[in-house]
Structure 1
Amino acid sequence: MEQHGTGASDVRTSTGRWAELLTPRYLATTTMLCVGVALYAFNGFLVSTVLPTAVREIGGAALLPWSLTLYLIASIVAGASAALLKQRYGARKVLFAAAVVFLAGTLTAAVASDMETVLVGRVFQGIGEGIIAAICYALIPEMFPPALVPKVFGAEATVWAVAAFGGPVLAGSLTETFSWRVAFLVNAPIICLFLLLAAVMVPGGRRTTGGMTLSFPTQRLALLSAGLLVMLVAGLAPSAPVAATAVATSLLLIFAAVRLDHRANQSILPKGAFSLGSTLGLGLWVVLLMPLSQATSGVYLVYSLQNLFGYGPTHAGALGALMAISWSLTAIGVANLRHEGARRATIWVGPLLLVCGFTALVAAIAAGSTGLLVAAQITIGAAFGLSWGYLSQMLMETTPERERDKTSALLPTLQSAGYALGAAMAGLWANGAGLASADTPEAMRTILTLTFGLALVWAVPALLAARRAVRLAGAALLTS
């Protein structure tokens, strides 16, 4: 049987205080999980900052968008397989292998002499980070008591905020002072620290499988990869009909992968995933739809600040990072909630704030109001900070223990998929509306206002799904 961390045995003795994360019992574990998040967070900001400089030296500017596309596909597909890999080989071995793959990708990209080699490195980084993020999520309910789980999510949100501000500054400074290759290598000591902590803290056992041999879901992952690839490159289609055909094909491939998984004896997804009649299924829709909505800002907010509001890169980046800061501060603020009703309320109030935030953002873009835009960014960040930790905890606890690894590992994977699909959808809409050829600020403002309005298309059903999920969870609690 797989060993479990300290979480299961310390449920009754945990005080649920922030200071408990800093005690000898949990400090190394908390640090390890935060370092795993830091790998993903800092790497994203580092790469987006240094690659424009890299292509000026080694060429391949036309391949620049593929650095993110291939990374996302590799990360999502690897994350989807993480629970089965953990079950078969044990968390420690899988994390070690994933970290080594991530390190290999980092070194490959850092020494690359052409953009094609950088892309190979990005694929390796995606595979490694997808598995690391998924396994780290799966370890949270194993290694921490329930009272500390919201604090762990708050600590991870703080890492994101630090990366949002510090990542671009660090990468820019290293690139200007030394070279873009040195900036890439910042990941190396973080990976080494993660390997050391994983060796000490992560249980090395694996679960028994009842005599069954675990097979790798090659066909399902291939369909998922193909669907994501078609979706992410649909924005390059030469015409709207071709783009629409690509989107339809992508959705069919992803749907086929999910259907095959439902019928498989060894599924990737937990039983009831995406069902509209269960807390788990509805909650997973929220996990997908909220990032799907927020991805519009990730693609076009800084662009809008520079082209419509006249801000330079530094000020635009700082305003763009307000969302991450608000997320972190809110997550820390609500992590001490003890009443179960209040915790459940945050799960649906968060998506409600998301709807309000994007409504304000649409109005800010249309009116050119910086003050309203700042308020919108803070509200959107608060939406995630308020609901994300308790939503994740509810889904972990709702899942039967035998499938908890699948749900926990699916959460960061689904979040990445939401961002990837949302970015693709926003790009399709904006490009189809003629953003690239807009020749006046008024035309650009109209297109961007409508593009940000697309975020509401995903935020509203996220609110409805969260509200129903909380009701079902409350009803189940009363009958138990």
Structure 2
Amino acid sequence: MASSWSELAAREHRASVVVLAGGVALYAINVYLTTSLLPNAVADIGGEELYSWTMTVFLVASVISSMLVSLVLSRFGARWAYVAGFAGFAAGTVIAGLSPTMVVMLIGRGVQGLAGGLLVGLGFAVVRTVLPARLWQRSIALMSAMWGVGNVVGPIVGGFFAQIGAWRGAFALLAVIALALIALTFRALPAGSGEASSDGVPWGSLVLLTGAAAAVSIASIVDGAATVVLLVVALAAGAVFVLYERGASNRVLPEMTYRGRSPLRWIYLGIIVLAMVSTIEMFIPLFGQRIGGLGPLAAGLLGAAISWGWTVGTLSSSGAESEKMRRLVRVAGPLILGTGLAAYGLLQVNDPSVWVIVGWYATLLFAGTGIGMAISHWFTAGMRVSTDDAEAAQASAGLNTSQLIANAFGSAIAGVLVSLGGPDVVGSARVLTFGFALLALVGVLVAFREFAAAKSWQLGASAPRERGVEL
């Protein structure tokens, strides 16, 4: 049965949808809001030498909590898991807003990250139990679109409070929103879990994956050989993580990820590719100012073009209901992304004309559309891969973990490519853009590999088709 946006917004689903989307929106808005007001905060409380660590601490904390989503759900249920997430986010935001020094700010950012990673992961895990299956794709599309909303609202709100000299007020506003969502959570979500059981914290996997994320995050703020060494360490830690998980009894990702020809591993990889490429937006405003001579606002809007395209692509492709259309979207998305970035790279020239700059906006918007149309369908594919509640909850939580890890790796790789293309800014822009365009095209190969794995999985002895799973 086909779904519609009006059905998702119906009275019986509205409160649940607001909570799920609100958790993702808080995370996304916070990322871009903090970036826009940090210069003012540093001018007030000092600690410029720790500037880069505000994102490093937040990201690593998010990765850690994203791996604990299934455990938190099994022990506390959807309602109390969300309450803990919103309350923790509010507490971290208050600490950051009241911080007298940068060290205290980092503590607040760490608490924010732990709560934020949990909130984003909960959205993709809880949707299976609070909404009917026919609404999953629409709800996933809505949650994915919140990243685009964050990229627009975050800089505007943060910039406004910074402009009036009241950067702490921006954090206060976020805390109030988080508390309001707590009140809504009690009405919207069930008290029971109905999700997953767990034997405990997967310490081995958590340490290895967190180590990899930390190495990549640090690699993005150091130079030269240290960056290469840290990337190698991160890759080694990631490889050991996979080997460890294959034989572990208590793991982050579901056992079926490593079983036979399971398509789940390719689903995760498809998300990783798209999420890594999306991190190019962190350098787009810099290129706009240095190459095009754009002002801060115009350059910020240029960086937001990818997220706007992401939102457009997500919402416009959410009506793809048949499996054939879902697969077509997952192939077309990375093709559009790679093509758009390649076109943007070709437009990187010294002293660009007005029409060339207009072309920057158009090609980035086009590229972002490719991310949006594909990534939400990868998330839905992961949710449909099993009907077992425990396994499906782990698979859903792994979707978010994959995206957060990819963001960390993507940011570091982007920094490396920018350095390789220097010292000329146009050279940096071209190397980064063409490099990520090639990475985007890898997503096409991943999609076809997942299709083959899904078909083989269906025909196998333990095939999901035999268990009544719709892929």
TM-score normalised over the length of structure 2: 0.91
Alignment of 1:274-289 (within 5 A): 277-289=261-273
Q: Does 1:455 align with 2:442?
A: no
Deviations 1:157-192 (A, max 9, x none): 443333322221122112223511111111112111
Contact 1:292 1:418 (C-alpha < 8 Å) held by counterparts = yes
Deviations 1:33-89 (A, max 9, x none): 121111111111110111110000110111110000110000011101111221233
Which residue in the other structure is 1:388 paired with? Answer: 375
Q: What is the DSSP-based 3-state SS (H/G/I as helix, E as strand, rest coil) of the residue aligned with 1:365?
A: coil
Structure 2 Cα separation of the partners of residues 237 and 166 of structure 1: 30
Structure 1 Cα separation of the partners of residues 24 and 370 of structure 2: 20
Which residue in the other structure is 2:205 paired with? Answer: 220
Structure 1 Cα separation of the partners of residues 252 and 444 of structure 2: 26
- The residue identity in structure 1 corresponding to 2:250 is Q
Contact 2:76 2:193 (C-alpha < 8 Å) held by counterparts = yes
Contact 2:66 2:397 (C-alpha < 8 Å) held by counterparts = yes
Deviation of 1:103 after TM superposition, in Å, equals 1.4
Contact 2:326 2:377 (C-alpha < 8 Å) held by counterparts = yes
Contact 2:342 2:434 (C-alpha < 8 Å) held by counterparts = yes
Deviation of 1:477 after TM superposition, in Å, equals 6.2
**Count of aligned pairs between the two proteins:** 456
Contact 2:63 2:213 (C-alpha < 8 Å) held by counterparts = no
Cα gap change, 1:45 to 1:239, in 2 (>3 Å): closer
Using the TM superposition, name which of 268-277 and 213-222 deviates more: 268-277
Q: What is the DSSP-based 3-state SS (H/G/I as helix, E as strand, rest coil) of the residue aligned with 2:3?
A: coil
Which residue in the other structure is 1:430 paired with? Answer: 418
Q: What is the DSSP-based 3-state SS (H/G/I as helix, E as strand, rest coil) of the residue aligned with 1:26?
A: helix
Alignment of 1:101-180 (within 5 A): 101-180=88-167
* From 336, 346, 363, the counterpart of 1:363: 346
Q: What is the DSSP-based 3-state SS (H/G/I as helix, E as strand, rest coil) of the residue aligned with 1:25?
A: helix
Which residue in the other structure is 1:239 paired with? Answer: 224
Deviations 1:345-382 (A, max 9, x none): 11111111122122112212257432432232122211
Deviation of 1:310 after TM superposition, in Å, equals 0.9
TM-score normalised over the length of structure 1: 0.89
Which residue in the other structure is 2:468 paired with? Answer: none
- The residue identity in structure 2 corresponding to 1:344 is R
Structure 1 Cα separation of the partners of residues 185 and 26 of structure 2: 14
Structure 2 Cα separation of the partners of residues 102 and 89 of structure 1: 17
Deviation of 1:393 after TM superposition, in Å, equals 0.9
Contact 2:148 2:307 (C-alpha < 8 Å) held by counterparts = yes
Which residue in the other structure is 1:251 paired with? Answer: 235
- The residue identity in structure 2 corresponding to 1:429 is L
Q: Does 1:68 align with 2:52?
A: no
Cα gap change, 1:222 to 1:459, in 2 (>3 Å): same
Contact 1:347 1:386 (C-alpha < 8 Å) held by counterparts = yes
- The residue identity in structure 2 corresponding to 1:234 is A
Contact 1:108 1:118 (C-alpha < 8 Å) held by counterparts = yes
Structure 2 Cα separation of the partners of residues 158 and 247 of structure 1: 31
- The residue identity in structure 2 corresponding to 1:264 is A
Q: Does 1:20 align with 2:7?
A: yes
Using the TM superposition, name which of 457-466 and 63-72 deviates more: 457-466
Contact 2:339 2:437 (C-alpha < 8 Å) held by counterparts = no
Contact 1:298 1:423 (C-alpha < 8 Å) held by counterparts = no
Structure 2 Cα separation of the partners of residues 309 and 404 of structure 1: 47
Which residue in the other structure is 2:27 paired with? Answer: 40
- The residue identity in structure 2 corresponding to 1:408 is S
Contact 2:129 2:194 (C-alpha < 8 Å) held by counterparts = no
- The residue identity in structure 2 corresponding to 1:248 is V
Which residue in the other structure is 1:416 paired with? Answer: 404
Contact 1:304 1:448 (C-alpha < 8 Å) held by counterparts = yes
| Structure 2: runs of 5+ lacking an equivalent | 466-471
Deviation of 1:102 after TM superposition, in Å, equals 1.4
Deviations 1:309-357 (A, max 9, x none): 1111111111221222222222222222333311221111111112212
Q: What is the DSSP-based 3-state SS (H/G/I as helix, E as strand, rest coil) of the residue aligned with 1:214?
A: coil
- What is the root-mean-square deviation of aligned Cα atoms in Å? 2.3
- The residue identity in structure 1 corresponding to 2:300 is G
Which residue in the other structure is 1:327 paired with? Answer: 310
- The residue identity in structure 2 corresponding to 1:216 is V
Using the TM superposition, name which of 309-318 and 373-382 deviates more: 373-382
Deviation of 1:109 after TM superposition, in Å, equals 0.6
| Structure 1: runs of 5+ lacking an equivalent | 1-13
- The residue identity in structure 2 corresponding to 1:412 is N
Deviations 1:233-267 (A, max 9, x none): 12444532x32222111211232233222222121
Structure 2 Cα separation of the partners of residues 280 and 381 of structure 1: 24
Using the TM superposition, name which of 27-36 and 251-260 deviates more: 251-260
Using the TM superposition, name which of 377-386 and 453-462 deviates more: 453-462
Which residue in the other structure is 1:189 paired with? Answer: 176
Which residue in the other structure is 1:10 paired with? Answer: none
Which residue in the other structure is 1:318 paired with? Answer: 301
- The residue identity in structure 2 corresponding to 1:159 is M
Cα gap change, 1:238 to 1:346, in 2 (>3 Å): closer
Structure 1 Cα separation of the partners of residues 121 and 386 of structure 2: 16
Contact 2:196 2:391 (C-alpha < 8 Å) held by counterparts = no
Contact 2:272 2:406 (C-alpha < 8 Å) held by counterparts = yes
Cα gap change, 1:310 to 1:208, in 2 (>3 Å): closer
Q: Does 1:444 align with 2:425?
A: yes
Cα gap change, 1:163 to 1:276, in 2 (>3 Å): farther
Contact 2:70 2:196 (C-alpha < 8 Å) held by counterparts = no
Structure 1 Cα separation of the partners of residues 210 and 166 of structure 2: 33
Cα gap change, 1:163 to 1:206, in 2 (>3 Å): closer
* From 247, 250, 256, the counterpart of 1:263: 247
Contact 1:345 1:470 (C-alpha < 8 Å) held by counterparts = no
